[in-house]
Structure 1
Amino acid sequence: MAVEHVTVTEDEADIRLDRWFRRRYPNLTQGAIQKACRTGQIRVDGKRAQTSTRLLPGQEVRIPPLPDVSRPAPPPPPDPLTRKRLESMILYQDDSVIVLNKPSGLATQGGPGIHEHIDMMLEALRPEGGDKPRLVHRIDRDTSGILLIARTPGVAAKLAAAFREREVEKTYWAIVTGRPNPAEGIVDQPLAKVGAGGGAVVVPADRKDEEAVSAKSAYEVVDAAARKFSWLKLSPLTGRTHQLRVHCESLGTPIVGDPRYGGEKAHPEGFADRLHLHARELDIPHPQGGRLKVAAPLPPHMKETFSKLGFVAGSTPEPTRTPK
């Protein structure tokens, strides 16, 4: 391999130098990158640089002959059936993001016993010569609704930062058994994970428990069928695994159809035995400026339950993007 000089793109702004290398050369070890920087073989704009150097668009990176830099094999051609299936889920797309309406029962990522998931399917949306689109966040396998996808690594990094800095507003709809009292409020209940793998569960925890993590969720009763069932609007103020499901159970009103939490109370007769939790709206700072707001229509099993209980969801608003 001869010496190369590569210009940093806009999409690669603020990425660390070592991560920039690993994107291009996955087989290159961190140790090899560190050595090449230490000896001055890797340079940025002709100057020595550390692995932690943050790159700027337009800078030129010197790539010397390095060991184990073989590029990965080209990805297989897109599967037309998988691509068509993904395209049927798209609620919104532009040059930066794709927003999907994930069906209940389809996993976001792989794991024990999972043979099909969104992350794997995204290979079908890879543009020729470009990057595979990337997940920005996750929702549970049994939860339906909005899932945000970044088209490039740079966009993924910007959106991940927005989630960390709590600049993202997420709204979920749920059908629960019973009616919370009071009808709205904030659940401030730390959680802890018990077990491992696919059998792990999340439980309420004492604040003094070393394994506990802070978890807060806002809730509001939108409508109720007597005191037997309620339609809740939920907003996770933190992002913990199964947070909304456990917090609803802690209110004494488990989500209908929950396969893991709520026991028999979560499985009333006459209703679809599927989780009635739906990621309804997402409001994010758009990577190119302004904000993007997208809503997802209800899945079939929740539409049926809404009709049975007399709840009126109304029409789903079209995606909107405010100017910079």
Structure 2
Amino acid sequence: MEPVCIENLHILYQSLDFLVVNKHWDIRIDSKMWYEKLTVQSQLKYRFPELADPDTYYGFRFCHQLDFSTSGALCVALNKEAAGRAYKCFKERTVTKAYLALVRGTVTEKCMTITLAVGKNTQEGFTHMMCAEGTVGCDNAKPCQTDLTVLQHGLYKGDPVTKVLLQPLTGRTHQLRVHCSALGYPIVGDFTYSFKKDVEPYRMMLHAYYLRIPVNPELIEVTAPDPFRPEVDPYWVPIDTIHPLCQAMKQMTHKALVSERSRQMHEQESSPKTMETSEETEEQRAVCQQWLTEWAGE
């Protein structure tokens, strides 16, 4: 991917209600800082000035978050009604997200489920970080889960690394980065969670590859091109393949589809009376808003 600039906003999906863009690495989604001129928000305003909504603070309704250093699929709602439908999907956890990453070391297990709770790091000098349960100073750790599938083993600039597919089944802040680091496989180029040791790579190797949001009656399903290929980054040299990416994605999306159909059948079996009276309480909405805020995934 070429260096970031105001003009190079890559569109993955567009409809009357939604946009999905391929966010560049090392760019914020939005910013309140006057000196930060280049954000996804400013790129959108430059490319689609007619779609900016003056009733919103940032001009656009971002349906979820991606870290400054993370690239990949980012969904934007183009009106209030569409944002509400997307909100419902996140609230009911029917959204499926998958990330690609290069991690330091050789992950020996082919697949694993990581269930370490993640909380705020309260140690002096680390308060901008999250941490895994059991870490000294870890406060208010919340349950979370990440499914990891090993795709390839190889080398990055001669050092052993593993290409993995990560599916966050919860959405805690920095979840993927904390989980990988806690297992001893920090993401290549993650300056923060390598404790300022991994400084040479040109970017953090974490990419939001797949996004599926069933915003009835519309289905948003996109992939953002894989940046971790030798023809894109020649420093990455795959040696052996454990799971082909297409095969791993097929298995993951099949599980998501089965889960969605099961949920739909359950809803159909519910009585209309129950459906009508199950209004969202203020407490439930507050919990959901917090969860949406935390849906960084990485």
TM-score by structure 2 length? Answer: 0.66
Are 1:159 and 2:86 matched, yes or no? yes
Alignment of 1:1-324 (within 5 A): 82=6, 84-86=7-9, 89-110=10-31, 114-124=36-46, 125-127=48-50, 132-194=59-121, 200-206=128-134, 211-225=140-154, 228-263=160-195, 266=198, 272-289=201-218, 291-299=219-227, 303-304=232-233, 307-309=236-238
Larger Rg: 1
Partners of 1:177 and 1:266 within 8 A in 2: no
Gap regions ≥5 residues in structure 1: 1-80
Any idea what SS the aligned residue of 1:286 has?
coil
Query: Does structure 2 conserve the Cα–Cα contact (< 8 Å) formed by 1:215 and 1:239?
Result: yes
User: Alpha carbons of 1:99 and 1:310: their partners in 2 closer, same or farther (altered >3 Å)?
Assistant: farther
The runs of 5 or more residues in structure 2 that have no matched partner are: 250-256, 258-298
Specify the alignment match of 1:28 in structure 2. Answer: none
Secondary structure of 2:181 counterpart: helix
How many angstroms does 1:122 deviate by?
3.1
RMSD between superposed Cα atoms in Å: 3.5
- TM-aligned CA deviation for residue 98 of structure 1: 0.6
Give the number of aligned pairs.
230
- Deviations along 1:176-217, one digit per CA (max 9) or x if unpaired, are 11123422111111111236999600111249x761122211
1-structure distance, mates of 2:238, 2:196: 20
Deviation at 1:94, TM superposition (A): 1.0
Amino acid at match of 1:219: L
Instruction: State whether residues 254 and 266 of structure 1, in contact with CA within 8 Å, keep that contact through their aligned partners in structure 2.
Output: no
CA distance in 2 between counterparts of 1:153 and 1:308 reads 45
Task: Give the residue type in structure 1 aligned to 2:233.
Answer: E
Question: What letter matches 1:191 in structure 2?
Answer: V
Structure 1 window deviating more from structure 2 (108-117 vs 138-147): it is 108-117
Whole-angstrom distance in 1 between the partners of 2:77 and 2:240: 34
Q: Which moved more, 1:144-153 or 1:127-136?
A: 127-136
Higher RCO (CA-CA < 8 Å; seq separation 6+): 2
Preserved contact between residue 53 and residue 60 of structure 2 (Cα < 8 Å) = no
Deviations 1:86-122 (A, max 9, x none): 3xx1111011111100111111122667443223443
- 264 and 119 in structure 1: CA distance in 2 versus 1, 3 angstrom threshold: closer
Take 1:198 and 1:109, find their aligned partners in 2: how far apart are those partners? 24
Distance 1:306 1:101, change over 3 A: farther
Deviations 1:13-50 (A, max 9, x none): xxxxxxxxxxxxxxxxxxxxxxxxxxxxxxxxxxxxxx
Aligned counterparts of 1:115 and 1:101: Cα–Cα separation in 2: 19
Q: Does structure 2 retain, via aligned residues, the 8 Å contact 1:256–1:273?
A: no
Residues 251 and 245 of structure 1, relative CA distance in 2, 3 Å threshold = same
1:306 is displaced (CA, Å) by: 7.0
